[in-house]
Amino acid sequence: MSRRRKRDHDGGPMSDINVTSLVDVMMTLLIIFIIVAPMLEQGIDVNLPTAEPKHIDVRDVLTITVSENERVYLEDQRVTLEDLADRLSSIKTARDDVAVVIKADTELRYGKVIEVLDTVREVGITRLAMATRPAQ
């Protein structure tokens, strides 16, 4: 019987699979996704003021964001006030029923928000709303 000794690695097929490396790779990918997922948020982060919100039911809504450092964004693209007026007027001619939601940071100076409001009104868009956080 000593002649038929079974060795661990005799060159034949193994009957069990080593899953340690698979688990290592999966755990590494899980950690990477946990770290990267919050960075994939779209949009511009601003600190919105709190107010009692009112739901607006409009299909075509454009979002204009004014960040704390007074940068203006139309949807997710940075624009100047002149570019904003040009883009809004071309959108207004293509679709007459356009609404605009303005998101402005609470630390922003009041004059910059008025400049953006005036630019939107000069184009002829009358459906305006200001984004706020819900009061808690």
Taking the domains of the chain in order of start, what are their residue ranges? 2-39, 50-134
User: Over 70: is that where the pLDDT of 36 sits?
Assistant: yes
Q: How far apart (Å, rounded) are the C-alpha atoms in residues 39 and 61? A: 25
Q: What is the largest CA-CA distance in the chain?
A: 98
For residue 26, the number of C-alpha atoms closer than 13 Å in the C-beta half-sphere is: 5
One-letter amino acid at 78 equals R
Position 10 confidence tier, pLDDT thresholds 50, 70, 90: low
User: Over 90: is that where the pLDDT of 7 sits?
Assistant: no
> Tokens representing 79?
């624009």
At 5 the pLDDT is 53
CB atoms within 10 A of CB 49: 14
pTM greater than 0.75: no
For residues 85-119, one letter each, b for 16 or more C-beta atoms within 10 angstroms of the residue's C-beta and e for the rest, the string is bebbeebbeeeeebbbbbbbbeebeeebbebbbeb
Q: Which CATH number fits domain 50-134: 3.40.50.11890, 3.40.50.10480, 3.40.50.720, 3.30.420.270?
A: 3.30.420.270
Write out pLDDT tens, residues 44-66: 677 766 666 566 555 678 899 99
Position 26 confidence tier, pLDDT thresholds 50, 70, 90: very high
Write out pLDDT tens, residues 105-131: 888 888 888 899 999 999 888 888 888
Note whether 127 and 99 are within 8 A (CB).
yes
